[in-house]
Structure 1
Amino acid sequence: MNSFNPRDRRAWRRIACGLLAVLLVAAAYLGWSRGFREEPQPAWVFETPDSRYRYGSIGAEHEAGIPYWIFYVLPRVFPEKFRQDGQVVAGGYAALGVAWEQGQELPVGFTKKTIGFPRVANNCAVCHTTSYRVSADSNPVFVSGGPGHTLNLQNFFRLLIDCARDPRFNADILMAEINRVTKLDLIDRLLYRFVIIPMTRQRLLEREAQFAWIYRPDFPDWGRGRDDGMNLTKYLLIRAPMDETYGPADIPAIWNLAKYKAETGQLPNYAGDTHDVHSVMIDSALGVMAAAPADPEDFRKQMAWLQDFLSRLPPPKYPFPVDGDKAAAGRAIFAAECAACHAGTRVGTRIPLAEAGTDPGRLESWNPDAARAANRIVGKMGIERKGLVEAPLPGYKIPFLDGIWLRAPYLHNGAVPTLRDLLEPPERRPRVFWRGYDVYDPVKVGFVSDGEEARRAGSRLDTAERGNGNGGHNFGTGLAPADKERLVEYLKTL
């Protein structure tokens, strides 16, 4: 005989429903907490403007972030994937030429933020921080806003895709390595094994088609300190089909951005292909994020802070002694030979390609249709900016020379190693040299670009290869050798 009356049954149903609701709420909270709950970065990141620039998140962790413990163990599981010039190199992420301050957990430009679980992403400092040494036995000096001339960005992109392609990128192998270095709780172990590792691999493999052009054997490697920025925009933001263009360019310095005055035609980027600094900041950050910002209002605030910081950031002072008399004589030579372009009304404006005579690859890699498509996409994100120039670009921009001593190698594609080499006719400039060694050469004004250590640490650049032409900029090449030395001495002071 059933001892429960209808009232008892209804009471038990209410209890069961209540317990189920509690369980569902608990499960939802657990899912949100371990998958999406966003925690602020630690206070030390924001102690100084420099530390915020180097380690502060711009929101890239949401879509482009790599789970921290996967990022941590990749060099242990896949040491053979860290390569340069076709050879395996030791050192893990340091082998990619990232700037890495002593005592820091991650390299400069690598941000760590918890969104459910700790994730690693990038900010602008990964490309725009210079590392240099005054001698081979000295510690590196890091300069915020400078060109990341040691960074092998192409190999970083390849590394992530190559690891994801490898069948060893699976939960058993990665979890075994993670368990060697940390103790995750039960929930995190389950999440990593059944959700985080499979999803990370899938998302990395989804990028493979967008990065197909960086594997083309008929395109030379970018090498250290360069990217193919306009093709990155075409293939990652616009999702355009791969074409035959190749436009490697030096990673630029981004200090003292207040010097660009759009109203007088002084435009940023190598070809003046963007209307103003604000647009460059937005588009560059979107490239790092690989998606629309998860929090548009926070993104706008981050970009406003970053633009203000970089607009005020002064170029670094030359760290070696300068011969005052020689520099004074060089200043007069500069006024006669260089100032009309680099210190007058033409600076920051475009010079026709035929007049400059430099490699056309960077110009050929971009077009008005791509600019219009990019502007439409960013507009649909609800982000206001003047955007990219939707007109043909006739030539490269005449650069400002602030901090020119630290912006080696030279020309837009970084095909001339030192300032002294740039003052030689193209046929007498180095045909082959090594980029990315960080010991400075105060005589020729640039980085040491040959010798055993330069060849070991740097990447080889052959100026006969596509996109690497070192011709053009014949200005000053006819000066007497002594006058070239005086001019270079003056350029150290800018």
Structure 2
Amino acid sequence: MDRAMYYTQDQGSRLMPLSWLKALTLPDGSPFLSQSLSRYGYLPMTGPNQGLPVGFTSTGPAGREQVGVTCAACHTREIRVSGTKYRVDGGPALVDFHRLLVDLDEATQKLANDPAAFDSFAKIVLGPDYEDPSSRDLLKLEFDLWSKRFHAIVSRGVPSEPWGVGRLDAVGMIFNRLTGLDLGETSDRIIEANIQSADAPVRYPFLWNAAVQDRTQWPGFAANGSDILGLARNVGEVYGVFGEFTPVKDSWSLLGIDYLKGNSVNFSGLSTLEGLIKKLGPPAYPFPIDKALAQKGEAVFKAPGPWGSCEDCHGQRPGTPSLGNKTWATPLVDTGTDSHQYDVLSWVAHPGVMTGARIPFLSERLAETSPAIDILTVAVEGSILQHYAPWIFDLRLKQTDAVEVALDKDLSALLPELYLPKDLRELRNAFPRSQGLGLADAQRSAVPPAESTSKVPESANSPTTQFKYESRVLYGIWATAPYLHNGSVPTLSDLLKAVDQRPEKFESGADYDPVMVGLAATQSGLHSITVTTDCTERNSGNSRCGHEFGTDLSAEDKTALLEYLKTL
């Protein structure tokens, strides 16, 4: 029951109408939905799901259902060993989202530009209503708007170099979706100049124990550990996977924006999904384990070395509490790994209809050009506040000059804090505010010193300390290859090698190697080739540089350590 709900629970994503998706075809004429999108690595559902795979939802009244994406699409994994498949719920998906977006854009652009093809499409979508000219005209109007918006984000935001199987520039696509498609002041809401190439792909994270980390996102910029902070990260994720968000200016409301106008976020569904994620445990290693060897490996994991111990960064220990909830520490460390995701975090954009919107709990307004992370912060926190504390937005203040002066004295920041319950006040910690600082400084300022310096060594091969990424507890790590935040190392065995000995390229797919603990060298099904760079190109997005801890261990100790990691 829990698994089925995890696979199908709506969170508010609205990709496209189900009737459209069912009517789309591939270049060879076969249905776009053939084999439940398995050609992209998505996994089949057991039971009825409108032909959709795991993690794709269908919601709405009969005949007008909308297809959306939910957590399970990106966080359900399948591995293969000797022809046997193993399902890993909450594991990083081995899917090609890049190819899905490009193919969907090509299929819909053909219809947008070929009247005959669109007419055939309309006959399938409308059925008997095709004979009604007004129905055909309405469908054409709706489709042209949808395809224009989708083409804008794919053509400008999806890079020509594929992300590959198991990787996605999620932060870049969230920024693009929000600032590029939602905030324009024209009828199509598009601000093309805000859409940038999302060319810093990272591997999908695993979800088990995600709720108890005290920080999330690979750079650790999101505070975590309570339901309200979990909701903040999830609302942002919904906006990134084509949730509907059409904020409008409202000069009578306290913060000047109506955030729920046309907002599709399913707050109840997100709460259900977060509850299910809390139930997820790490997957048990399904193959034999040498217990004596694993015991020796545990000693290696905990033994201090010149670089500290594995346990210093990856052991379970108390983190920063949130609303009284116990959390696990998630150290943020610069270990010399790829730095390109920090370029994405430096993006700026025009806030469009949200220009001048006030950042909740602070007095600053969004300027004509603002950091994308600030725009996301305002959009997410404003939406949550308006949903759970509508009385704040119902303080119908007409912003006369006198009121504006009062607002500039932080009245708008003060009122929410005075009237909000404690859990909503925790939103002030959800995301960092740039506040005009350079990104590296802003990132450091958002992390308490104890989190970033307590027994966590910086890498000797890193000339910097500002490109920090999260160091998670390693439960279930055996099932999450490829490794490093950008998925540039195929196995745990390779990660224990010096950078110049790690593979320069490898195949990413579902075939699994229990000895090397990670991706098999040869993939038999859907796969892509990842080509990596060394430390001379640390900012390539594909650098295998960094995290050279344990590379000087003996061969025996490395074998023992790998055996222990299988038990976590």
What band does the TM-score fall into relative to the shorter chain?
0.7 to 0.9
Contact between 2:19 and 2:125, CA under 8 Å: does it hold in 1? no
**Does 2:95 align with 1:151?**
yes
Structure 1 position 476, deviation (Å): 0.6
Number of paired residues? 419
1:404 aligns with 2:447: no
User: Deviation of residue 158 (structure 1)?
Assistant: 1.6
Q: Which residue pairs with 1:373 in the alignment?
A: 375
**CA, structure 1 residues 178+483, in 2 after alignment: closer, same or farther (shift >3 Å)?**
farther
Shift in CA distance, 244/133, structure 1 to aligned 2, threshold 3 Å: closer
Alpha-carbon deviation of 1:53? 1.2
Task: Give the distance between the partners of 2:290 and 2:135, measured in 1 at CA.
Answer: 60
Partner of residue 287 from structure 2, selected from 317, 320, 335: 320
**Which string of whole-angstrom CA distances, capped at 9 and with x for unpartnered residues, describes residues 211-266 of structure 1?**
3444544xx32111111122112211123724577321111111222321xxxxx3
The structure with the greater share of residues assigned to helix is 1
Residue 460 of structure 1 corresponds to which residue in structure 2?
529
| Structure 1: gaps of 5 or more residues | 1-47, 83-89, 261-265
Q: Is the 8 A contact 2:482 2:519 kept in 1?
A: yes
1:42-441 matches, cutoff 5 A: 48-60=1-13, 64-76=14-26, 93-102=37-46, 105-115=51-61, 116-135=63-82, 137-138=83-84, 140-148=85-93, 150-167=94-111, 172-173=116-117, 176=120, 185-187=127-129, 190=132, 193-196=136-139, 198-217=141-160, 220-239=161-180, 241-242=194-195, 246-260=199-213, 266-276=214-224, 277-292=230-245, 299-336=266-303, 337-343=309-315, 345=317, 348-353=329-334, 356-367=335-346, 369-381=371-383, 382=386, 385-386=427-428, 387-391=430-434, 392-393=442-443, 394=466, 395-435=468-508, 437-441=509-513
Structure 2 distance, partners of 1:145, 1:197, is: 39
Answer whether contact 1:171 1:193 (CA < 8 A) is retained: no
Contact kept? 1:164, 1:205, Cα under 8 Å: no
Question: CA contact under 8 A between 1:270 and 1:412: conserved in structure 2?
Answer: yes
When Rg is computed on C-alpha atoms for both structures, the one with the higher figure is 1
| Structure 1 Cα separation of the partners of residues 545 and 125 of structure 2 | 56
Q: CA distance change for structure 1 residues 480 and 237 in 2, over 3 Å: closer, same or farther?
A: same
Aligned to 1:15: none
- Aligned partners of 1:53, 1:493: CA distance in 2, in Å? 25
SS of the counterpart of 2:77?
Answer: strand
Residue 81 of structure 1, CA deviation: 12
Identical amino acids, percent of aligned pairs: 28
Moved more, 196-205 or 470-479: 196-205
Change (3 A) 1:297 1:489: same
Letter in 1 for 2:173: L
Deviations 1:150-172 (A, max 9, x none): 21111222222222222576675
Change in 2 beyond 3 A, CA 1:72/1:214: same
Which amino acid letter does the alignment assign opposite residue 102 of structure 2?
A: R
Gap change, CA 1:57 and 1:470, over 3 Å in 2: same
TM-superposed CA distance for 1:76, in Å, is 4.4
Q: TM-score w.r.t. structure 1 length?
A: 0.76
The structural deviation recorded for 1:339 is: 0.8
Seen in structure 2, the aligned counterparts of structure 1 residues 80 and 152 have a Cα distance that, compared at 3 Å, is farther
Distance 1:343 1:210 in 2: 40
Residue 170 and residue 121 in structure 1: after superposition, are their counterparts in 2 closer, same or farther (change >3 A)? farther
Deviation at 1:350, TM superposition (A): 4.0
Distance 1:390 1:174 in 2: 46
Give, as a single letter, the amino acid of the residue that structure 2 aligns with 1:339. Answer: E
Q: Which moved more, 1:113-122 or 1:397-406?
A: 113-122
2:562 aligns with 488
Check whether the contact 1:55–1:108 (CA below 8 A) recurs between aligned residues: yes
SS in 1 for 2:288: coil
How far off is 1:445 after superposition? 0.8
Change (3 A) 1:183 1:79: closer
Q: What is the CA distance between 1:177 and its match in structure 2? A: 6.5
Cα offset, 1:444, TM superposition: 0.7
Task: Give the partner amino acid of 1:362.
Answer: Q
TM-score, normalised on structure 2? Answer: 0.67
1:130 counterpart SS class: strand
Equivalent residues of 1:131, 1:141 under 8 A apart: yes
Q: Which runs of 5+ in 2 are unaligned?
A: 181-192, 225-229, 246-259, 304-308, 320-327, 348-370, 388-423, 435-441, 444-465
In the TM superposition, residue 107 of structure 1 has moved relative to its aligned partner by 0.5
Q: What amino acid is aligned across from residue 482 of structure 1 in structure 2?
A: E
SS of 2:266's partner is helix
- Partners of 1:171 and 1:400 lie apart in 2 by 55
Three-state SS of the structure 2 residue aligned to 1:108 is: coil
Moved more, 422-431 or 363-372: 363-372
Amino acid at match of 2:474: L
